Amino acid sequence: MDAWPFHPVMDMPGGYWVLDLTRPPVEGWTAPFPYTVGRYDEARPWMYDTPLFGGTRHVHIGLDLGGPEGTTVHAFAEGQIHAVGYEEDAGGYGATVVTVHDLNLPSGTKHPWAGTTQRVWVLHGHLSRSDMDRWKVGDGVERGAVIGHLGTPEENGGWAPHVHVQVSTYAPEGFNMEGVVAPEDREAALLLHPDPRLIAGPLY
């Protein structure tokens, strides 16, 4: 990780646990580390039970980085603020910041974009509501800048504190991106929303 070209989206001192959310956790189980990672392109058929998801959407197309509430979330690279907003729905993103970046992957990176410049939009969802006053559309963002902080369940849609990081190859309308999709929409969604480990590093 020392040679990783981007700033960590979230520092995770003390280690992290990669979750398996394809099935409900065993009652009473807690992660053995203070931080967690929820996987990209993972089917979670038991998890999304609020009206927001319509009973059909359960394939996760972001990356979840969990930790104590108030943990700092950083910009992986220089960019701009594309949108800021608050999703009120139960199960939604709550406080959300979307940044836009011209992504430059080193030539030695094993990815089709290596050695090129690709514009991407990055959603950071489930932040603290107090972060809404931090940014306005068009603000410049430095590499490593504090985008926000992990919000409490009361302000982040009802979830345990975490940031949902999602990469998009197209500009979203406003601050929202569909973070989970129906199984029949999975392949199309993955083409538009590449694996966030592209910017967050090889976490698993």
- Reported as a single tens digit per residue, the pLDDT across 144-196 is 999 999 999 999 999 999 999 999 999 999 998 999 999 999 999 999 999 99
Q: What average pLDDT does the segment 77-83 reach?
A: 98
131/138 Cα distance (integer angstroms): 16
188/101 Cα distance (integer angstroms): 22
Residue 80 pLDDT exceeds 70:
yes
pLDDT on residue 45: 95
In the numeric block, the tokens 């592209």 are attached to 198
The residues near 139 (Cβ < 8 Å, ≥ 6 apart) are: 80, 81
The residues near 182 (Cβ < 8 Å, ≥ 6 apart) are: 56, 57, 58, 59
- How many CB atoms lie under 10 A from the CB of residue 15? 10
Instruction: Give 1's pLDDT tier (boundaries 50, 70, 90).
Output: very low
pLDDT on residue 124: 98
Q: Give the dihedral sign, CA 21/189/78/97.
A: negative
What is residue 121's three-state secondary structure? Answer: strand
Residue 108 pLDDT exceeds 90:
no
pTM of the model: 0.95
pLDDT on residue 4: 83
The residues that bridge with 165 in the sheet, in sequence order, are 63, 124
Instruction: Give 60's pLDDT tier (boundaries 50, 70, 90).
Output: very high
**102 compared with 115, residue with greater pLDDT:** 102
35/11 Cα distance (integer angstroms): 9
Residue 174 Ramachandran class (φ > 0 left, ψ -120 to 50 alpha, else beta) = left
Q: What average pLDDT does the segment 53-69 reach?
A: 96
Give per-residue burial for 185-194: e unless 16+ CB within 10 Å, then b: eeeebeeebb
**What do you get for the CA distance between the two ends of the chain, in Å?**
12
Residue 3 pLDDT exceeds 90:
no
What the chain holds in terms of domains, given with CATH numbers, is: 16-200 (2.70.70.10)
Backbone φ and ψ for 131, nearest 5 degrees, come out as: -75, -10
Which tens digit of pLDDT belongs to each residue from 123-146?
999 999 999 899 999 999 999 999
Angle among Cα 99, 178, 95 to the nearest 5 degrees reads 50
In the numeric block, the tokens 């967050």 are attached to 200
Which tens digit of pLDDT belongs to each residue from 7-21?
999 999 999 999 999
